[in-house]
Structures are given as C-alpha cells and as structure tokens.
Amino acid sequence: MTDNLTRALLVAALISSGACTDGKDAATDSGGDSAGADSSAAEVLYTINGLAITFGPDQNPAAEGLCVEAVDPSGVLEGGEAEVVSQTTVGAGGAYTLSDVPRRGQPTVVVVRDCEGAASTVYPTGSPVLPFDFQSITEGQAVDDVRSVSLSNSTLAAFEAGLALAGYAGDLPAEGFALGAVWTADQQPISGAQLTCGGCGVYYADADPSDGPFTTGGVKNTSTSGSALWIIPAAPPVEYGVTAEGYTFPKVTFAAPPGGALFGILTGQPS
C-alpha cells in the first residue's frame, strides 16, 4: 500500500444511495440539511487527483468507467446523512480527478462504485483522504496521488464465505462493514494487534486460508497476523482503539456504511 493509505485514519461515513447522478444524496434532494450548507460561500474548493486500485496484494488499477464520488461524512457524525460533493469516473490506468471538492470539517471520503444502471461488478467502498495538512488546503490546490480502494464482488464473496466459517451469520453486503489493516509507520503489518470497540465483532485474517481466512484449526482468530487484515461487519459508530505490544495508536471513530464498506489503515508508533 502507499504512504497515503498508511496515514489514513478511519472516519464515520455513510455511502450515498445515489450513484453518479447529480452529485446530491437523498437528504439534499429532499431539502434536508447537509453538512457545510450554511458555509458554502466561504468554502475552499480543491482538487483530488487519485488512482482507484483493486483491493488485493497486486493493487491492479480499477476498471475504467466505474463511478468515483467525493463524500462529505460530516452529516453522519451529526446523526444525519452523508453528502456527495463531487463525482467523476475512473479513467485509463485507474486514474481519476475530482474537481471543486469543498474543504470542510471532516476529511473527504472517496467512494468507488458501479455507476447507476451499470452491471454489478464492485461493492461500494470508501477510502478517506487525509493529507497531513488537511485543514491548510488552499483554494485551487490539488491533492495528488490519492489511492482509493475498489472491492470486487468476487472478493466480497470470499469475505462472506470466510466469515461464515468463523461463525458470522449476518448479511454482510446489506449490513456493510469496515475493513483495513494494522501497520507500522513504514508500512509493515503488525501481528498480535487487537481492535477494541466495546464488544463489536472483529474478525482477523491470517496467512493460511486453507482452514478459513479468519479461523485457525476451526477456531476464530483473536488478533492480527499475516497481512494484519481485519473486518468488522456492521461496525457501530463508536470510538475504536488498537492494542499491540510495543506500539501506541490514536483512537478514532468510524462506522460501517449500510450497503458499503469503509477502508483504512490503522498506524502504530513505537511506544
């Protein structure tokens, strides 16, 4: 993964039910309040130049023609709806450009999904944009080399099968989920890490999928190993922490978007 993803913290996000239509979600179209509406005159607009990549070890470019949306998640944090603030499509080699993205209180989440009316090929997945100086972005500035994850339907099916072996009985596509990994600052996976979230169900993948990616000898894994991948189905909107011997982690708040996934890397610093 890239340094952009390594320094990404997860934030609460609800993926809009509209896909590359007019750039508004249902709450906006119905006249509901959306985050940042009162401050639009003073908003700083910037550009996101990114690359949509397919989830997996090879990081291949996502398919050309998929829809890409810049989503403001502030409304979710306030108990309302997210807002799509810019949209485009994936170009050659996975490249995309999102123009006139407003800088607001929360980092933008970039969602890669099938366009409205297109055949189902990917599961809607959001990746947060978190440059170090997010609040200092100036008018017309471009944030470059943003990497956004695209999750194929075949990978989603593999997650479903693996989770079922580990005892998960829910509807993963309908409930949505958060997923990511636990890494060091130099992009190395941390083994033995555990996510704390007040009793939510966390599933940890291991390096041997022959007995199920989330189980070892038929027993559910209890900490990270291998790639340090984790999945939280229907992740509740609570504060999450990570514990791992020899590392410290910031606490973050995020939630699973129903009908979609939120991806990010949780980065530890040596203690």
Per-residue model confidence as pLDDT tens digits over 148-188: 999 999 999 999 999 999 999 999 999 999 999 999 999 89
Asked if the domains at 3-151 and 154-270 fall in one CATH topology, the answer is yes
| Residue 21 clears pLDDT 70, i.e. is over it | no
Instruction: Look at residue 82 in the predicted model and tell me its pLDDT.
Output: 77
* Pairwise CA distance, residues 89 & 97, whole Å: 8
Q: Is 32 exposed, middle or buried (0-12, 13-18, 19+ CB in 10 A)?
A: middle
Q: Is 65 left (phi over 0), alpha (psi -120 to 50) or beta?
A: left
Q: How many CB atoms are located within 10 Å of the residue 191 CB?
A: 17
- 152-5-18 Cα angle (round to 5): 50
* Pairwise CA distance, residues 225 & 62, whole Å: 27
- pTM for the full predicted model: 0.84
In the chain, where are the structural domains located? 3-151, 154-270
* Pairwise CA distance, residues 25 & 17, whole Å: 7
Q: How many CB atoms are located within 10 Å of the residue 169 CB?
A: 7
* Pairwise CA distance, residues 258 & 247, whole Å: 32
Phi, psi of 89 (to 5 degrees): -130, 160
- Which tokens sit at 173? 């596509």
Instruction: Look at residue 41 in the predicted model and tell me its pLDDT.
Output: 57
Helix (H, G, I), strand (E, B) or coil at 86: strand
* Answer CATH for 154-270 from 3.40.50.1010, 2.60.40.1120, 3.40.50.10680, 3.40.50.720: 2.60.40.1120
Instruction: Look at residue 76 in the predicted model and tell me its pLDDT.
Output: 63
Instruction: Look at residue 255 in the predicted model and tell me its pLDDT.
Output: 82
3-151 CATH fold: Immunoglobulin-like (2.60.40)
Confidence of residue 256 (pLDDT cuts 50, 70, 90): confident
Annotate 139-184 with DSSP letters as a single string: TT-EEEEEEEEEEEHHHHHHHHHHHHHTT--S-HHHH-EEEEEEEE
More confident residue, 40 or 14: 40
Q: How does pLDDT run across 42-96, given as a tens digit for each residue?
A: 789 999 999 999 998 888 999 999 999 999 887 766 656 779 999 999 999 999 9
